[in-house]
């Protein structure tokens, strides 16, 4: 497993995401993912599966201290008192006294960012979270969060796949010492039938999905979240560290980006995104 270091955090470069995974599925798939070698599990309050994620880690046979666990506070809990209470609830559900990384899930300008960051810092200082970060932030919000925070901001978790140019976010993250955590890497399944990705995969004896995950983790400071509900796919998603993409192959994948490539853009949550570089 490769690791990404960012502002004092050491994060497994390949994580397993649980978005849209019902509890029963989590209990079936996540323990097997951990047994196979995944050491980074990502969940969120809004996913409604923190309890099952906690149970899955506990029953995996791998010590809690060997699993990097991320969760996210939902936007309706950003007021200070609500925030702190919600973290305690999450810890109880996750069967742990701390998470390794806690994120603000989306921007919410109804609550001052200083209050949000202050609450993040409070639970960090209390030892309830080892590291803090943000999610779905544009570059201006990233810089503001860093300026407001006493504790280091270690990542911005954003949509990132071959069809979405995130060069500006990546550049800002590197300047601030942060990592970028990529979700929706498969672009809602679009990458699986992409002829360019399939052709690159054929050269390495890999699938298009493996090519995309490799493309992500081969970039400086990028963490990739993978996801599958199929047990037989778990070993495939993990097998991305035994090959390397050439500079030309990396460039060819970057060249797939186009205007309109963004998939996740919920009204009322999404900020004003940075224009593509």
- pLDDT tens string 245-274: 999 999 999 999 999 999 999 999 999 999
Indicate the angle between helix axes 139-148 and 167-176, nearest 10 degrees: 20
10-186+221-227, which class in CATH? alpha beta
Angle at alpha carbon of residue 133, lines to 115 and 27, rounded to 5°: 115
What confidence tens digit (pLDDT) does each residue in 54-70 have? 999 999 999 999 999 99
pLDDT at 252: 98
What confidence tens digit (pLDDT) does each residue in 210-252 have? 999 999 999 999 999 999 999 999 999 999 999 999 999 999 9
Burial zone of 113 (CB within 10 Å; 0-12 exposed, 13-18 middle, 19+ buried): buried
What confidence tens digit (pLDDT) does each residue in 190-207 have? 999 999 999 999 999 999
pLDDT greater than 80 at residue 277: no
Positions marked catalytic: 47
Domain boundaries, the chain: 10-186+221-227
40 is in an annotated binding site: no
The answer to whether the predicted template modeling score (pTM) of the entire model surpasses 0.95 is yes
pLDDT at 145: 98
């Amino acid at each position: 497993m490769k690791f990404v270091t960012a502002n004092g955090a050491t994060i497994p470069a390949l994580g397993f995401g649980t978005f849209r995974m019902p509890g029963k599925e989590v209990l079936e798939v996540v323990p097997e993912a951990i047994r196979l070698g995944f050491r980074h599990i990502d969940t969120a309050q809004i996913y409604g599966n923190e309890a099952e994620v906690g149970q899955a880690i506990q029953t995996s046979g791998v010590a809690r201290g060997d699993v990097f666990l991320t969760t996210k506070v939902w936007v309706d809990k950003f007021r200070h008192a609500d925030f702190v209470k919600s973290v305690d609830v999450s810890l109880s559900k996750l069967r742990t006294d701390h998470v390794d990384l806690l994120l603000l899930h989306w921007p919410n300008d109804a609550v001052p960012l200083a209050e949000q960051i202050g609450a993040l810092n409070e639970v960090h200082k209390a030892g309830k979270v080892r590291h803090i970060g943000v999610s779905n932030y544009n570059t201006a919000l990233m810089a503001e969060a860093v300026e407001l925070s006493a504790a280091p901001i270690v990542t911005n978790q954003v949509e990132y796949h071959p069809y979405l140019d995130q060069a500006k976010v990546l550049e800002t993250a590197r300047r601030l010492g942060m990592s970028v955590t990529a979700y929706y890497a498969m672009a809602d399944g679009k990458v699986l039938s992409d002829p360019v990705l399939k052709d690159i995969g054929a050269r390495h004896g890999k699938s298009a999905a493996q090519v995309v995950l490799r493309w992500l983790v081969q970039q400086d400071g990028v963490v990739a979240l993978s996801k599958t509900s199929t047990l037989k796919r778990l070993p495939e998603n993990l097998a991305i560290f035994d090959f390397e993409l050439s500079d030309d192959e990396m460039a060819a994948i970057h060249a797939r980006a186009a205007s309109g490539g963004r998939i996740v853009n919920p009204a009322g949550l999404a900020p004003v995104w940075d224009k593509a570089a």
